Structure 1
Amino acid sequence: MSRRLEGSELTQRNYQQKGADASNERPWRQRPDIVSPNPPPRLDWLAQVREPSLAPEQKIVDAHHHLWDRRGFRYLLEEFADDIGDSGHRVSASVYVQCRTMYRASGPEAYRSVGEIEFVRGLSAQARSGHYGVTDVAAGIVGYADLLMGAGVTPVLEALMEAGGGRFRGVRMPVAAHPDPAVRSNPVPAPEGLMVSKPFFEGARELARRGLSLDIWAYQTQLDEVATLARRLPELTIVLDHAGGPLGIGPYARHRADHSSAHRRAWRDGLARLAELPNVMLKIGGFGMPIMGFGFDTGKAPPSSRHLADAIAPEVDACIERFTPSRCMLESNFPVDKGSISYGVLWNAYHRLTASWSQEERNAVFHDTATRVYRLPVGVRHP
């Protein structure tokens, strides 16, 4: 007698089937083929480590995740909801962040990214049906606009806001850049110096005028550029992604574990200078990306929450010491980090790292800071 596939087992079968389909695409399908420096998930490998939630009552806002349908790698609402549901964590809401997904295939180039907001708004409405759990997925949406258009980006921002249906909260434009080609985290690297250019400043000013925020994924070598922008636009809320980009590959590889090295001090000092600017907030996460240098994806087994917490504790402590819990928020960075860490293990590691904190401090990093900064609805769905 056949049996019903459940949970992660079904998800694993879906991944395998999609991988098989990738080599024999139907000719009318035009899913993007993305070459990324980040490894794809290996569900059999991740399944070697399973953990129940260490704090199932702690309310969480996942402050940074993506959704996409790429050739051989689909991560849409169903996959995200399964990761949340299987983890046992109380994820009440999430913030979606741009990843070049579902752009319009035609029309003016500047407006094609509006398609991403339309797509995510639809998945957000789908999540609110209750058929995929209780998480308010994409309660806040961060999209893309070309800020190098300067003040000319205004009508694009208005189109993004209209498409978001009250959920559009800000923009992220790829700026992560490094002269060494070995230091790369994005499928499409950005040119250097964008954040300090006059057009970028003028475009960012249009965000501030509309009460929108700017997410920035920059490497540690670019933190002074972020500070320059933040000083020039004190009215703009800047959210620095992925712990401010501490580097652990290429020329930084041998310094990653030496927290007294000049490179590690430079990252901490850059964070400290940014923490002096009250309009800058910090997301803590992204440690599963190879660019951080931890190598979690290379082990025979994935990390447990204890292993993960021990490994990232110096980075997390450095972030909290400089920004305090009231200006920090925790992120999954899924499905990017799913190549190295399972969803439940990641949040358990965060629970371990904050176990000695006050409940007020824990609430801040797990839920309250993201809710405040992204102006999310409070207490609407989750029991």
Structure 2
Amino acid sequence: MWKLIYISTLLFLSCSNEQQEDSTEIQVGAQKIQQYIPLLENKKVGLTVNHSSVVQGTHLTDTLMSSGIDVVKVFTPEHGFSGSLSDGLEVNYDNSNSAFQLISLYGKNKKPTREQVADLDVMVFDMQDVGARFYTYISTMHYVMEACAENRIPMIILDRPNPNGSYVDGPVLDTAFQSFVGMHPIPIVHGMTVGELAMMINEEGWLKNGVKVDLRIIKVEKWDHSIPYSLPIKPSPNLPDDLSISLYPSLCLFEGTIMSVGRGTDYAFQQIGHPEYPDTTNSFTPISREGAKWPPYEDQICYSESWIGQKPRYSFSLKPLIEAYQLMNRSDFFNDYFKRLAGTNQLQKQIESGMSEEEIRQSWKAEIDQFKGKRAKYLLY
């Protein structure tokens, strides 16, 4: 067992040399060990975790196993256990020398099967989210909740702050455009922690056939939605810092266009570009690298719009998208993926018709107001 703990610690340490537990007074759910260890003792435990699942500098798997907890299954989301895999890249784990079974919940197997959870008494979910509807960790959470509900396995969520949790904005998903990058009728920026969102998913009947999981949230201490939160560990390979995380809700929509968002550079989601972008003031050249294998326009100079060096801006804006569309002036600017990211087929039509950002915002205001009323029932902070 200790050999495996050492290996998992190496995996964790290899993800980033920045991985230190937050030194502020904020206590994430995982730190409140005294609240959840008693719920796991003498039980077969499953974990849904990744590299961000850290308790005071130690990975949650190591913390639990060194406390005598019987961890038998570890499930991982997009980017894998190490958090270093490129988006869209599937992984198959070699479990031949493992004390527990490591299972990927990405690719063809997004939801734990009955066989994969059959021997579990309880499931623990602990992952750092960034508060955008299309960030797939919450989709993984949904499927884990569903599997647990169907198999009568209680689930504990160790909550963490949402760095984009101070506001709500963007179009609400039309379920006709439901996908793994948008599973719930919520805005692009939902302003909820994973714990709060899990409560909403459970109580609103969004799990398959309206099933409900026996859910417990271990809350964050000394944080509320008005308090800025700087992530101590980058949550995925292409969100390297607070600026990328703050711009992500706005700039991720470019992934549904012909533009690059800077994958394959040190500044992903801090710049957008294209080899034929008419403004040549800035440029970048994407290269294939860990966390960004085969990026768009690999080894090509992309002229760009850049926000590098600016302070984080915790707001959602359509301005970059509208301006890039108008500057590129191409009928192929949008691709089919855009509708799934936007969660609607209206946004593309609105931009193509020349509507202003304010006019577009007015079109989703009523749905945002309705969502905020629903959201209020589930807020913990």
TM, length-normalised to structure 1: 0.29
Structure showing the higher helix proportion among its residues? 1
